[in-house]
Amino acid sequence: MKADKPEDAQRQGLRERLETILIRTEKATPWHDEADRLRGLVNQDGYVPIRTRLAVEDLDFLSEARSELLRFSELGLRLLDLHQPRDAGGITSDTAHPILRCRSCMWRWPCPTFRAMSESFGAPHDSSDTTLSESA
Ligand SMILES: [Zn+2]
């Protein structure tokens, strides 16, 4: 896709890093069902000794997953702090439902940033929609 104006280097770099995380994560094996199964095998020391086969894509994902997830959750919390509603003031005929605007981007509430976050994180995702069931 080619935009009218070239994307600035900072935005391009950020987009590339996010796309790299997305691709790396998609390639890794989902562990949801396997983690549920292993939870029942925790020993008295609090560990589960396991033997497993990890693909290179899984190792790529696991080596960065914790730090990337920490950064994502910090980003989410910062965005949530930035994008919150406030009374827009002005005159309205509906005093019970005053017009609200985002205090950061000034879009009418809920703003596009908050809606995007809600769509991504508002409800738990169904983790059974991927390929683990084939390998379990
Ligand atoms: Zn906003």
Average pLDDT of every residue of the chain: 85
In DSSP terms, 101 is beta-bridged to 86, 108
pLDDT of res. 91: 66
pLDDT tens-place string over residues 73-102: 999 999 999 999 998 776 666 777 788 999
Are 84 and 107 within 8 A, CB to CB?
Answer: no
Does residue 70 belong to any structural domain of this protein? yes
Q: How confident is the model at residue 3 (pLDDT cuts 50, 70, 90)?
A: low
Does residue 46 belong to any structural domain of this protein? no
pLDDT of res. 10: 85
Dist. CA 87–CA 98, nearest whole Å: 7
- Alpha carbon of 8 to ligand 1 centroid (Å): 22
pLDDT tens-place string over residues 29-62: 998 898 899 999 999 999 999 888 999 999 999 9
Mean predicted confidence (pLDDT) in 55-71: 93
Are 100 and 86 within 8 A, CB to CB?
Answer: yes
pTM of the model: 0.69
Does residue 74 belong to any structural domain of this protein? yes
User: Does pLDDT of 18 surpass 50?
Assistant: yes
Does residue 19 belong to any structural domain of this protein? no
Range of the domain at 71: 56-85
Does residue 26 belong to any structural domain of this protein? no
Dist. CA 87–CA 104, nearest whole Å: 12
- Alpha carbon of 46 to ligand 1 centroid (Å): 43
| Helical residues (DSSP H) of 1-136, grouped into ranges | 9-27, 32-39, 56-82, 112-121, 132-135
- Alpha carbon of 111 to ligand 1 centroid (Å): 5
User: Does pLDDT of 134 surpass 60?
Assistant: no
Does residue 92 belong to any structural domain of this protein? no
pLDDT of res. 48: 94
Are 62 and 30 within 8 A, CB to CB?
Answer: no
- Alpha carbon of 20 to ligand 1 centroid (Å): 26
Query: What is the domain count for the chain?
Result: 1
Give the SS3 label for residue 92: coil
User: Does pLDDT of 131 surpass 50?
Assistant: no
Give the SS3 label for residue 101: strand
Does residue 35 belong to any structural domain of this protein? no
pLDDT of res. 136: 35
Dist. CA 46–CA 32, nearest whole Å: 19
- Alpha carbon of 108 to ligand 1 centroid (Å): 8
pLDDT of res. 2: 52
Q: Residues of 75-99 as b/e, b for ≥16 C-beta within 10 angstroms?
A: eeeeeeeebebeeeeeeeeeeeeee
Q: How far, in whole angstroms, is CA 90 from its chain's centroid? A: 36
Does residue 66 belong to any structural domain of this protein? yes
